[in-house]
Amino acid sequence: ARTIVILGVVAVFVNIWWALFLYLLVFVLIVVLGRLAFRLLPGESVGMIMEMPDYHVPHLKGVLGQTWQRTRSLIGIVLPAYIVGSIVITAAYAAGLLEPINAVLYPITVILLGLPAVTGVVFIFGIIRKEMTILALAAILGTTVFSDVLTPVQIIVFGLVTLLYAPCISTILALAKEFGWKAALSITALETSLAIALGALLFHLIGPFL
């Protein structure tokens, strides 16, 4: 989903090099945060070499059974969440609640990130699914040619924040199921804070040059 945003927005309306830069930046973040977690979290590193058991050709019945067991709970949680999330956002739009949301997020979207105020609602749409940020942005701006209404800097910052901020609702629910709501919300808050901080930094670094 994030690839759709980066290649469909940054690569198309800025250039492929900035899209590759965002991917490289995310890769560096993964390495740095992974090393940091390794140093801070308790426990010892587990070796990657393990004994390999004998493998046999799987039976179709067993494969289908395992597949169903692993996807049944996910379907039961994620599909209703998508439907409910879409209904809530549509209802908020019909009730005229989106403008107040943009106003609340104005200090972040406009002052820190240098983006149009309407992107506050766009990012909320992205919590349902990341690619919905493109659909929401096109609907709100009234065009699919984003370079007509956004500067290259805004497009790049928008792409970076979309890459890093809160995971989509299916991921949040999966995290809550595995680790509990406290951990899921903490991870969401951490990712969002990191996205805002890096987006603001990038905006102020490249703003004078693009």
User: Considering the domain boundaries, does residue 49 fall inside one?
Assistant: no
In 3D space, the residue among 201, 107, 102, 129 whose CA is nearest the CA of residue 161 turns out to be 201
Cβ(93)–Cβ(102) under 8 Å?
no
- Per-residue pLDDT, averaged over 62-77, amounts to 75
Please say if the pLDDT value at position 74 is more than 70. Answer: no
User: Considering the domain boundaries, does residue 69 fall inside one?
Assistant: no
Name the more confident of 150 and 87: 150
- Of the pLDDT bands very low, low, confident and very high (cuts 50, 70, 90), residue 157 is very high
User: Considering the domain boundaries, does residue 42 fall inside one?
Assistant: no
The vertex-80 CA angle with 74 and 84, nearest 5°, equals 145
Rounded CA gap, 28 and 143, in Å? Answer: 34
Q: How far is CA 65 from the centre of its chain?
A: 31
User: Considering the domain boundaries, does residue 47 fall inside one?
Assistant: no
Structurally, the chain folds into a number of domains equal to 1
Name the more confident of 76 and 62: 62
> What is residue 207's DSSP assignment?
T
User: Considering the domain boundaries, does residue 38 fall inside one?
Assistant: no
Give pLDDT, residue 3. 82
CA dihedral 110, 156, 186, 176 (to 10 degrees): 120
Give pLDDT, residue 204. 93
Amino acid making up residue 90: T
User: Considering the domain boundaries, does residue 91 fall inside one?
Assistant: yes
CB hemisphere CA count around 198 (13 angstroms): 20
Q: How large a percentage of the chain has pLDDT more than 90?
A: 34
Please say if the pLDDT value at position 77 is more than 70. Answer: no
The secondary structure of 131-182 as a DSSP string is THHHHHHHHHHT-S-GGGTS-HHHHHHHHHHHHHSS--HHHHHHHHHHH-HH
Range of the domain at 132: 2-31+76-206
Taking only the tens place, the pLDDT of each residue in 122-135 is 898 888 778 778 87
The pTM of the full predicted model, rounded to 2 decimals, is 0.79
User: Considering the domain boundaries, does residue 58 fall inside one?
Assistant: no
What lies within 8 Å, CB to CB, of 161 at 6+ separation is: 113, 115, 123, 195, 196, 198, 199
Please say if the pLDDT value at position 149 is more than 80. Answer: yes
Cβ(168)–Cβ(128) under 8 Å?
yes
Name the more confident of 72 and 27: 27
User: Considering the domain boundaries, does residue 23 fall inside one?
Assistant: yes
